[in-house]
């Protein structure tokens, strides 16, 4: 893989990001990768490279750039190594919760513009944890740019909030896939049902599955909630989705 650090000038500042692409010069479709609440770190670089190896130009932005360049938590490596999820969440929550939907959507325009400069045509979007909600919002706000969305162990995708991501379902033209975590307190059964009802009512092409025995964060091998079987299942689903929905184009 060929990877590089890039800076993307957005409306509210400069977003540091990671770009990974295959060794050959193309053509390759683009993929926007929204991180989980822990933020950009080595594990996510590995995942971006894994996607790029399938033939995509992948952009992984530090969505928390307003709080500083990645990693946003100075002692993140130590917190991850300790395996104490409570302390980890206490450290990251102030930053993760500060990203408003309005700011995230404004930033997404600049991420998509960057991808348009290196990969023509509609893109695929994947997101994890809070990133799954950002991915759904991207599809509902920029339907002309987003052809596919894969969301994994997403939280609060269909809450009672007036700006819940599921309320954008009527604007979505992309094909969607969701791999929900089993017994996930951030996405209880009533939200899963509410999301499905919204997508069905809007006529969205989608598939949603609950991964039995997998907890929230199951793809993240640098955390104590990692589930290898669920991670491999998610890769198969994501790559099948992108193979169907994205076409190889010149860039």
CATH number for position 225: 3.40.50.1820
CB 158 within 8 A of CB 176: no
Q: Torsion over CA of 140, 141, 145 and 151, rounded to 10 degrees?
A: -40
Task: Tell me, yes or no, if 129 is annotated catalytic.
Answer: yes
Residue 6: which pLDDT band, with cuts at 50, 70 and 90?
A: very high
- Tell whether 251 is covered by a domain: no
| Residue 12: how many other CB atoms lie within 10 Å | 12
Q: Is 184 an active-site residue?
A: yes
Is 203 contained in some domain? yes
Task: Give the tens place of pLDDT for each residue, 133-187.
Answer: 999 999 999 999 999 999 999 999 999 999 999 999 999 999 999 999 998 999 9
pLDDT band at 251 (very low <50, low <70, confident <90, very high): very low
Q: Is residue 187 part of a domain?
A: yes
What's the full length of the chain, in residues?
A: 251
pLDDT digits (tens, 9 = 90+) for 20-52: 999 987 789 999 999 999 999 999 999 999 999
Q: Is residue 222 part of a domain?
A: yes
Whether 117 is covered by a domain: the verdict is yes
Residue 160 a catalytic site member: no
- Any domain includes 43: yes
Closest to 96 in 3D by CA, of 59, 134, 124, 60? 134
Q: Calculate what percentage of the chain has a pLDDT beyond 70.
A: 98
C-alpha 133/C-alpha 184 separation (Å) is 15
Say if 166 falls within a structural domain: yes
Which of 114-123, 188-197, 240-249 holds the top average pLDDT? 188-197
Domain count, the chain: 1
Edge-first strand order for the sheet with 206-211 is 2-10, 13-21, 57-61, 30-34, 123-128, 146-152, 175-181, 206-211
Residue 249 has pLDDT above 60, yes or no: no
Q: Residue 54: what are its φ and ψ, rounded to 5°? A: -85, 0
Given 15, 129, 153, 166, the catalytic residue: 129
- Catalytic residue of the set 28, 153, 166, 216: 216
Mean predicted confidence (pLDDT) in 207-217: 97
Domain span at 88: 2-245
> Is residue 250 included in any domain, yes or no?
no
| Set 28, 153, 166, 184: catalytic member | 184
pLDDT at 2 over 80: yes
| 31 or 248: which leads in pLDDT | 31
pLDDT in tens, 71-87: 988 888 888 888 888 88
């Amino acid at each position: 893989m060929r990877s590089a650090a890039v800076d993307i000038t957005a409306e509210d500042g400069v977003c540091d990001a990671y770009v990974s692409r295959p060794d050959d010069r193309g053509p390759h479709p683009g993929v926007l990768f929204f991180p989980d609440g822990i933020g950009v770190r080595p594990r996510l670089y590995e995942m971006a490279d894994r996607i790029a190896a399938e033939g995509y130009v992948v952009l992984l932005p530090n969505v928390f750039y307003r709080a500083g360049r990645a990693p946003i938590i100075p002692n993140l490596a130590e917190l991850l190594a300790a395996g104490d999820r409570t302390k980890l969440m206490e450290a990251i929550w102030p930053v993760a919760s500060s990203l408003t939907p309005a700011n995230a959507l404004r930033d997404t325009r600049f991420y998509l513009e960057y991808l348009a400069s290196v990969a023509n045509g509609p893109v695929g979007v994947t997101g994890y944890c809070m990133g799954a909600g950002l991915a759904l919002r991207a599809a509902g706000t920029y339907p002309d740019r987003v052809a596919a969305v894969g969301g994994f162990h997403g939280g609060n995708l269909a809450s009672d909030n007036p700006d819940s991501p599921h309320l954008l379902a009527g604007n979505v033209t992309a094909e969607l896939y969701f791999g929900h975590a089993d017994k996930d307190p951030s996405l209880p059964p009533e939200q899963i049902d509410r999301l499905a009802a919204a997508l069905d009512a809007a006529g969205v092409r989608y598939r949603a599955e609950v991964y039995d025995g997998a907890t929230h964060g199951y793809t993240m091998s640098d955390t104590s909630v990692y589930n290898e079987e669920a991670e491999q299942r998610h890769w198969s689903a994501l790559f099948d989705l992108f193979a169907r929905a994205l076409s190889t184009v010149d860039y």
